[in-house]
Structure formats: structure tokens, C-alpha cells
Amino acid sequence: MAYRVNTYTPTPTVIFNSRATLRLLSYNADILALSLAGVAGQKLVKAGTIYCTDGKQLKRAKLLTDGASGDLGIYVNNPWAFAIGDVLKVVAPIGSNPAAELAAITGATGAAVGTIASIETSIETQTSRIILATAVVGNIITVDFLGIIGSYTVKTTVVADELIGLAKAVQAAISRSESISYVSVTPYPTYIEIKSGSDKTMLEFTASIAQGAGASVAVLTTSTIQGLGKLILAAPLAAAIPAGTKVGTLDQIPQAIWDNEWDFGNYPHSVPLEHAITPCYGGQFYLNALPYMDAQVAKMLPQAAFIPAYA
Amino acid sequence: MSTITTLINSTPIPITRIFDDTQAFLIDPDKNERLKKSGAKIDKVALSVYTLIDKICPATIEEAFAVAAMKIKKNMSIASISGVDQPIAMTGTGAIEEALTNLIKIVIGVNFTEADQIKFAQMLETGRMPAQYIEAIIKNIDDLQPKVMRTAILLAYQVLRTGRMNWTDPRTQMVAQMNYNYVPRLFPDPLTGIKAWTSYATATGIIDLQEHDDAYYDENGFRAEMVVMRTQTMRDLCRQQSTRDAFIANGLASASTLGSAAVSFGGLQRLFAEMLLPMPVIMDAQVEIEPRPGVFQRLNLMNTGEYFFANENMGQRIFGKTMEGKGKAGIFVDTNPKDKRDIEDQAIAVGRMIPFFENPKLLAARVVN
């Protein structure tokens, strides 16, 4: 007998206060399911993704884990937006302020990433690694799963021992949250492995290392062994791109923000009218609820306020 | 993940069972009602961790937009010696100090969008979800008032634990700050190294507590009623060699019967009573926070490795007037449609409060590992 689980998950709240919400009144503001990449059986419009004037999602996303030079693919946090043939660039270098970012987008000055040759659609679980090269006593390692933070201070110079401690700290943080409780964290001699326990769930996390009381800062990298919607490039990456870098096409014009998450997995063509979804061009939005954000979005949505402000 | 498509394309099977996986018991005292319905026993001990704050710092209502307090200090110094034909030595009568505190606005609202309402309507239509189950998922406005109250509880515990309030709201990034002019020696330095309560062989937990309690006695003229800590901290205290020694020295057990075992919680209570120490009380309650929209995390109201002294009614969670409540005091709850189309509903709860401790000399706490 099959044990089937259907879930109702409340949509992550993107809107800070719905009183001020202004919705796009165009009845053409419908997304074509055809334009969405089918990844892991889903055609997902994430809550907080940006709707553009060309009727598609903004084809920009953040790199999930480090892309090493020579990698033939990258993992991003919103593969559903992309299509074969999209030419990807770095939107702006990490740490750019909004003004520099806007200039980089409009001037398309970012480094080339590559052209999408294909998109991996069938893999439904994710396995990622956090790799620690050396252990420096006093360094502080922080792993952040969208706000669920595990932090660990390095105590010895033995990498394997420290990874056990780090894995424990991360697992302890995860176990305090229902949101990501189905994630396993396993220490290995040179890395810790993070696996999603439930299918079709993307694990978004950042890993960082700070000097703390240490004499120097050790090198911490991340990689994804397998994940949802790998964007396979026509040519290998020419240079390494750090996790969190914003990559994408730069010729779209942002118009509005979807406040609900929708999955059009079973619709082959355009979306039936009763499921038309209307994005908001104004209102108050939680900045950190948006899967992607850049200075062009802030500029093109003058009636939207982001909390905290995008700076 | 997917909702509508899954629901529409699946064959309706009526739901016959439901269990609530929303919250760990420690963050939701109302769970007792639900435990009762599903035939489980009510846990009175666990419930007490939530009612403790009502003893120490009960919620009160004040018909004001701000709290104004007046501190009176009488001159209690004794008289002087003088001689014949000498002038009389004079002194002042005392002092009055006014303190004015603004209230902190605590708000929360939930929004039911048209999309949300369609999802629920479809669940009902497909026959998969009886209406009362949907009510169980989103209990509507009943849930909002406790949310405001729990923020107030969190702020009160911060003052009890640290003598100050410093809370950065994860949603709004607004900061609630207030510094009580506590007595520094009632917040002694943290215990570290061999003195840390987790260094079982070398720590001197009972003596640390005694010294702290004596300082409290010296300041206030009476002893604290209770010392509040987490289960884990109390366990650390029970395991210490010095606690075991004191247990034996006070005649509560012989060295041979205690052996190498840790002192029990009941034993610790008897030991504290013998030594005139405040009654040890366990407090493990938690709250749930939303560090990022849609991501939830449980937060201990107290950390492991700290304790504070407390008395009944030593403070108040004062709720004042709100404009939303038309100038009435309390927690104001309202639900209304967003606009005249009456599709999007919005339910809000608003309160303005301050954790108020008239006498900051009653605040005393310490980090012990």
C-alpha cells in the first residue's frame, strides 16, 4: 500500500504589509508555463521572484555553492527561470554597492559565465559539501540556512576533529527549526556533507569563515555534488566564481514581484485563466524573503519599499 | 511544495487522522488542550515553565501611553553629636527621582490572500479536508494575541537574565533597548575555566550561589525566593563534586550511600533549604522566531549556563494604551477585509508594553559556563 503525502505549505510571506500592495492590472501579466524550465518535476515560480516586461521570470539568480574554474555547470537558487541558450554573465562582483551594481547591469560589464547548453531536470535531491582546507585555532565558521545559523569556533588544528564539531553545531541549529529539519549533516575527514532528506527540496545555505581569535583565516569552500537544476554550460568556467555571486542575463526589464509560490509542473502550455497570478509592482516587501534582488529591480519598482532597504 | 496541482490531480481520499506537528510543547502552553483531545496526559510540570513568568512578572494593564514612575529615597542617616552652644548639624530630607518610560509597540498581522483562500476552498471542495482541520492549521485571530504576549515574555526574560533589554526584531530589524540601572555586583562576572559549572571536579557552584545571594541580601535586606535556571544547568550543578560534598556535609546523605552519583533534583532542593539558598526552579520554555520570512526557529527563553534570582511580583509586563484600540489599554485584536472586494482578509494584533521593574536592585543574574 502506497503511503502518499500531500502537503499544504503556507507560502513564505514576501509582503511586509498587504495594505500598501499595488497589483499589476494588466491581464497579460500571465506567465507562460512553457517558458519555465521543468526541474525535478516542478515548474516553479518562487515567492518573491521578479516578473519582467517580456512575460518571463527574471533570468538572474544567486550561485548556490562555489563554481570552480573548469566546472562545466553551475548550481543556482532559481533554475526554473532559465532556458537553453541563455547567455549568462556575472551581474556584478560580490560586495558591489547598489549604484555600482546598477551601472554594471546597464553597462553589462560583468564577466562572462557561459551559455546554457542544457539544464539537468531529473535529479530530485541535493548533496552539497563544505570543505575546510586547514584548521586555524580561533577561526569562527558560520553556516547559515536562510536564517538558521550554526556557528562553531575552531579549537584544534586537526581538520577532521573540527569538522565533527562543526557538523554537530550545524545539526543542533537545524534541529531547532521545523523549516529545515529534514536535512542531514555528516562529517568526513576533509569536508562535511549536507543532504536534503526530502525530494525536490532545494537547500540554500551560505558558509563563511571569520578570523576570530585566530592568527590567520583558513580557506573554506563549498561545492554541490548533485542538486536541482544544474545549468550545464557550453564551455567550462574560465575562472572561479564564489558562492552567492549573482549571475544571469542582463537584457530583461523588471516589472513586478510575485508574492505567492506556484508550481505549474502539470501544465504543458499556458496557465489556465483561473490560475492567473498577478504580481505586485508596489508595496512593502521583506528584502530577505526575495530569492533574488539587485539594484535594477529596486530602480524599476519605484513604488516598492524593501524592509530593510536595499543597500 | 506544490499545492493546487497536487490537490487537483489527486484522487480524493478522506482524511481520517490528524496530528499536530506544528510546535514543540515547550513553545506552546495551549498544546495541553490539544493533548487532551488526542487522549494524552496533561503535563503540569512542563506547563509550569510557562506560568512562571506570570508569578515573577505578571501582565498588567495601565491606562496610559507611557509609564511614569517616581522613586523616593528617604534620608535615613542617623543624628550627630554636638556640644553646648554649638550649632545644630543639618542634613537633607531625601530625594525624588522621576523615570518616564515609553512603551514598546508589539505588532503582528496575518494576511489571507485570494490565493490562500482558493487553496482552502479547494481543499474543502475536494472533500479532503474538513473545515475544522483548516481551522486547526490557521486558527485565525485566536493565535495572534499569544504571539504579542510571547514577545512581551521574551523581553521580560531578557531583563531578568541580563538587567537590560536589547532585542533586535528579526522581521523589522527594529531594536528594543532599555537599560535598568542594576547594581553591578548583582551581575557578577561570568564563571569560566575551572570555576565554570561544567568543570565538575573544580567548580564551586554552591559557594558561588551563596556569595551571590549574600550580596543580594546585603542590598535588599531579604533573600531571593527562587533561583531560576534551565534543566541542563541544574544538572550541571548536581554533578559537581562540591555540591556532592555539601550534600554529605549537611547530613543529607552519607558518603557511602551517595557513592559517585550526582545529587538528585529533590536532594538539591533539600540542600538549598538547609543552606538558606533560594528555591531552585526549572525554566525551559521556548518561543518560536522567524529569522527570515517562512523560516522558523525555536529559541530558548533562557540559555544553558545561566541563572537569575527572582521574587514573586518583582516586575510587571505593563500593557498600555494603543491607538488601534481607540485609546484603550491592552492587546488589541482585529480582523477585517483589505478592501471592499472582501477577498483578502487581514487579522492584526497590537500591544504596547514594557517589562517594568520598579526596583532594579531585585535584578540579579549570572552566567556560569
What residues of chain B, 205 to 224, have a C-beta less than 8 Å from chain A?
none
Among A43, A144, A179, A264, most B C-beta atoms within 10 A, so best to mutate, is A179
DSSP string, B148-171: HHHHHHHHHHHHHHHSEEEEE-TT
Least Cα separation, residue B212 to chain A (angstroms) = 31
In the predicted model, is pLDDT for residue A106 greater than 70?
yes
Among B19, B297, B344, B350, most A C-beta atoms within 10 A, so best to mutate, is B297
Least Cα separation, residue A150 to chain B (angstroms) = 12
Q: Do B297 and A265 touch (CB under 8 A)?
A: no
Q: Do A42 and B123 touch (CB under 8 A)?
A: no
Q: Do B173 and A264 touch (CB under 8 A)?
A: no
Q: Is B130 on the interface with A (CB under 8 A)?
A: no
Q: What is the pLDDT of residue B246?
A: 94
Q: What is the pLDDT confidence band of residue A78, given thresholds at 50, 70 and 90? A: very high
Give the span between the Cα atoms of A200 and A181, in whole angstroms: 15
Q: What percent of chain A has pLDDT over 90?
A: 64
Q: What is the pLDDT of residue B92?
A: 87
Give the span between the Cα atoms of A257 and A261, in whole angstroms: 11
Cβ burial B294-314 (10 Å sphere, 16+ → b, else e): bbbbbebbbebbbbbbbbeeb
Tell which wins on pLDDT, B175 or B117: B175
Q: Is B79 on the interface with A (CB under 8 A)?
A: no
Q: What is the pLDDT of residue A5?
A: 47
Q: Which residues of chain A neighbour B291 with C-beta distances below 8 Å?
A: 146-149
Least Cα separation, residue B64 to chain A (angstroms) = 27
In the predicted model, is pLDDT for residue A1 greater than 50?
no
Q: What percent of chain B has pLDDT over 90?
A: 45
Instruction: Please state, rounded to an integer, the average pLDDT across all residues of chain A.
Output: 88
Q: What is the pLDDT of residue B44?
A: 64
Q: Do A8 and B298 touch (CB under 8 A)?
A: no
Q: Is B55 on the interface with A (CB under 8 A)?
A: no
- Assembly ipTM: 0.82
Q: Do B172 and A307 touch (CB under 8 A)?
A: yes
DSSP string, chain A: ---------PPPP-EEEEEEEEE---TT---BGGGS--BTTB-EE-TTPEEETTSSB--EEEBSSPBPTT-SEE-BS-GGG--TT-EEEEEE-TT--HHHHHHHHHHT-SPEEEEEEEE--S----EEEEEES---TT-EEEEEETTEEEEEE--SS-HHHHHHHHHHHHHHHHHT-STTTTEEEEE-SSEEEEEESSTT-----EEEEE-TTSSS---EEEEEEE-TT-EEESS--SS-B-TT-EEE-S---EEEE--S-EE-TT--SBPPGGG----EEEEEEEGGG-S---HHHHHH-TTEEEES---
Q: Is B291 on the interface with A (CB under 8 A)?
A: yes
Q: What is the pLDDT confidence band of residue B8, given thresholds at 50, 70 and 90? A: very low
Q: Which residues of chain B neighbour A266 with C-beta distances below 8 Å?
A: 5, 9
Cβ neighbours for B325, distance < 8 A, ≥ 6 positions apart: B332, B350
Give the span between the Cα atoms of B364 and B211, in whole angstroms: 12
Q: State the angle between helix axes of B205-220 and B231-239 in degrees (0 to 180), rounded to the nearest 10.
A: 120
Query: Per residue in B15-60, pLDDT tens?
Result: 666 666 665 667 766 656 666 666 666 666 666 677 889 899 999 9
- Let me know: does A228 contact A40? Beta carbons within 8 Å: yes
Q: Which residues of chain B neighbour A289 with C-beta distances below 8 Å?
A: 292-294
Q: Do B292 and A146 touch (CB under 8 A)?
A: yes
Q: Do A6 and B6 touch (CB under 8 A)?
A: yes
pTM: 0.84
Q: What is the pLDDT of residue B39?
A: 64
Q: What is the pLDDT confidence band of residue B4, given thresholds at 50, 70 and 90? A: very low
In the predicted model, is pLDDT for residue B366 greater than 50?
yes
Look at residues B226, B194, B224, B223 and name the one whose alpha carbon lies nearest to residue B369: B194
| CB half-sphere exposure, A257, CA atoms < 13 A | 31
With CA atoms as reference, the chain B residue closest to A8 would be: B3
Q: Do B5 and A263 touch (CB under 8 A)?
A: yes
Q: Which residues of chain B neighbour A17 with C-beta distances below 8 Å?
A: 109
Q: Do B2 and A19 touch (CB under 8 A)?
A: no
